[in-house]
Chain A
Amino acid sequence: MNDPRNSDVLLECRGIDKNYNGPMVLSGVDFALTRGEIHALVGENGAGKSTLIKIVTGVTNRNAGSISFDGHDIPQEHSKNAAEKLGIAVIYQELSLIHGMSVAQNIYLTKEPLLSGLPIIDINKMNTMAQEMIDRYGFDLKATDVIDNLPIAQRQTVEILKALSNKASLMIMDEPTSSLTSTESAQLFKIIRLLKSEGISVLYISHRMEEVFALSDRVTVLRDGRKVAVLEKEQISPAEIIRLMIGRILTDNESHHQMVKKDGEVVLEVDKLCSEGKLKDVSFSVRRGEVLGFGGLVGSGRTELMRAIYGIDPFDSGTITYLGKPYVPTVEKSIAGGYGFVPEERRLQGIMGGISITGNIGIANLDTISSKAGFVSGAKELERAQKAIALLNVKPARPEVLVGNLSGGNQQKVVVGKWLIRDLKLLIVDEPTVGVDIGAKEEMYQTIERLSQAGVAVIVVSSDLPELTRLSDRIIVLRKGRVIKEFVEGAVSEEDVLRAASGLVEGGAQ
Chain B
Amino acid sequence: MSVSAIRRLILIGLLIAIGIALSIANPSFLTVDNLMTLLQEASLTGIVAIGFTLILITAGIDMSIGAVIAITSMICINFISYTQLPAYIYIPIALAMGCAIGWVNGFFITHFKLPEFIVTLATRGILAGLALIAAVKDSQGFVKNVFIQDEVFLAFGETVGPVYIVTIVFFVLAFCTQFFLKRTRAGTNVYATGANPTAARLSGINTDRTLIGVYMFSGFCAALTSIFLSARMMTAMPEFGIGSEMDVIASVIIGGTPFTGGVGDIWGTVIGTLFLALIKNGILKLGLSPYIQPIVIGGIIVVVVVLDVWYKDFAEKRAARSARQKQMQSKEGV
Q: Could you list which residues of chain A lie within 8 angstroms of chain B, going by C-beta atoms?
A: 80-81, 84, 92, 95-101, 105, 109-110, 112, 114, 119-121, 123, 140, 148-151, 162, 183, 277, 297-299, 480, 502-503, 509-510
The minimal Cβ–Cβ distance linking A92 to chain B, given in whole angstroms, is 7
Q: Within the assembled complex, what's the spacing in Å between the Cα atoms of A225 and B278?
A: 68
Say yes or no: B199 contacts A96, CB within 8 Å.
Answer: yes
In the complex with contacts A503-B332, A509-B332, A101-B183 CB distance below 8 A: no
Say yes or no: A299 contacts B328, CB within 8 Å.
Answer: yes
Say yes or no: B330 contacts A277, CB within 8 Å.
Answer: no
B211-227 interface with A by 8 A CB criterion = none
In the complex with contacts A109-B188, A112-B188, A510-B332 CB distance below 8 A: yes
Say yes or no: A101 contacts B324, CB within 8 Å.
Answer: no
The digit string for B179-207, where 1 denotes a CB below 8 A from any CB of A, is: 10011110011011001101110111100
The minimal Cβ–Cβ distance linking A125 to chain B, given in whole angstroms, is 12
In the complex with contacts A148-B319, A509-B332, A98-B184 CB distance below 8 A: no
The digit string for B286-314, where 1 denotes a CB below 8 A from any CB of A, is: 00000000000000000000000000000
Chain A residues, CB < 8 A from B332: 503, 509-510
With an 8 A cutoff between CB atoms, is B137 at the interface?
no
In the complex with contacts A96-B202, A97-B199, A109-B205, A299-B324 CB distance below 8 A: yes
**Cβ-closest 5 pairs across A and B:** A96-B199, A109-B203, A96-B202, A98-B195, A98-B192
With an 8 A cutoff between CB atoms, is B149 at the interface?
no
Q: Within the assembled complex, what's the spacing in Å between the Cα atoms of A101 and B196?
A: 11
With an 8 A cutoff between CB atoms, is B209 at the interface?
no
Say yes or no: B184 contacts A105, CB within 8 Å.
Answer: no
Q: Within the assembled complex, what's the spacing in Å between the Cα atoms of A304 and B70?
A: 54
Chain B residues, CB < 8 A from A81: 204
Say yes or no: B262 contacts A121, CB within 8 Å.
Answer: no
The minimal Cβ–Cβ distance linking A122 to chain B, given in whole angstroms, is 9
13 additional A-B residue pairs with CB within 8 Å, beyond A100-B262, A101-B191, A110-B185: A96-B196, A96-B202, A98-B200, A98-B203, A99-B196, A100-B191, A101-B188, A119-B185, A120-B183, A162-B203, A299-B324, A503-B331, A510-B332
A105: contacting residue among B188, B326, B331, CB under 8 A = B188
With an 8 A cutoff between CB atoms, is B334 at the interface?
yes
Chain A interface helix/strand/loop/mixed: loop
Q: Within the assembled complex, what's the spacing in Å between the Cα atoms of A123 and B183?
A: 8
Say yes or no: A151 contacts B326, CB within 8 Å.
Answer: yes
Chain A residues, CB < 8 A from B198: 96
Q: Within the assembled complex, what's the spacing in Å between the Cα atoms of A480 and B328?
A: 8
Say yes or no: B321 contacts A277, CB within 8 Å.
Answer: yes
Closest to A95 in B: B199
With an 8 A cutoff between CB atoms, is B263 at the interface?
yes
Q: Within the assembled complex, what's the spacing in Å between the Cα atoms of A84 and B204?
A: 9
Closest to B203 in A: A109
Chain B residues, CB < 8 A from A105: 188
Q: Within the assembled complex, what's the spacing in Å between the Cα atoms of A238 and B280?
A: 74
Closest to A150 in B: B323
B319: contacting residue among A92, A140, A149, A503, CB under 8 A = A149
Q: Within the assembled complex, what's the spacing in Å between the Cα atoms of A150 and B184?
A: 25
The minimal Cβ–Cβ distance linking A461 to chain B, given in whole angstroms, is 17
With an 8 A cutoff between CB atoms, is B26 at the interface?
no
B83-103 interface with A by 8 A CB criterion = none
In the complex with contacts A98-B192, A98-B199, A119-B185, A110-B204 CB distance below 8 A: yes
The minimal Cβ–Cβ distance linking B154 to chain A, given in whole angstroms, is 36
Query: What would be 21 A-B contacts, judged by CB atoms less than 8 Å apart?
Result: A80-B202, A96-B199, A98-B203, A100-B195, A101-B191, A101-B192, A109-B188, A109-B192, A109-B203, A110-B189, A110-B204, A112-B188, A119-B184, A120-B179, A121-B182, A123-B183, A150-B323, A299-B327, A502-B331, A503-B332, A510-B332
